[in-house]
Amino acid sequence: MMGLTNLNSTHLSSAKITAAQDAISALENALAEITTNLSAEERKRYGSINEQNKLFVNKVYDYSQSQPNLKSPEVDWDEFNRDYSSRNSMEGMISRLESLITRMNNAKTLHDYDNYQSALVEYSFSTYKAGTSAPGFENKYKDLKQFFLKNSTSTAPPEEKK
């Protein structure tokens, strides 16, 4: 039985790759002023707002909008609203980027699989040709054979780390 190959035969043109890279650069530049590197300690200290606390913030925002007469004068409401708006904008962009990353990882996985299957076919061919003493194939076979270190259960190469 022949394995599945060419699970993803759709490829971006070099112009589209350049356009995507340029778009990523533009996004990095557009967001440069707000991107912050937090230490592990800072992330732990400031990252304590969980889903329940987000609901709490949303409820405070709702009250500030629907019943402004009940707002505390000690809160900088202009800054609160800017933070709230920025957070919502970032959450939406993060969601879109995570979805895009998932789709790109899926496409990459299929390309990796296709490459690996083709490489296995090439290795089998080289093994056969080396057995017939065809010129050049013995060295190629020996060079490729190193990726198939034998162990007790398998002769397949180790899986790629992501």
Total domain count for the chain? Answer: 1
pLDDT beyond 70 at 162: no
Q: How many angstroms separate the CA atoms of 54 and 7, rounded?
A: 42
Q: What per-residue string of b and e applies to 125-138 under the rule 16 or more CB within 10 Å gives b?
A: ebeebbeeeeeebe
Confirm whether 92 is domain-assigned: yes
What pLDDT shows up at residue 44?
Answer: 86
Confirm whether 3 is domain-assigned: no
Segment holding 76, helix H or strand E: none
pLDDT digits (tens, 9 = 90+) for 111-154: 999 999 999 999 999 999 999 999 999 999 999 999 998 764 55
For residue 160, give the DSSP letter: P
pLDDT digits (tens, 9 = 90+) for 6-48: 787 889 999 999 999 999 999 999 999 998 889 999 988 888 7
What pLDDT shows up at residue 156?
Answer: 58
State the residue range of the domain holding 109.
40-145
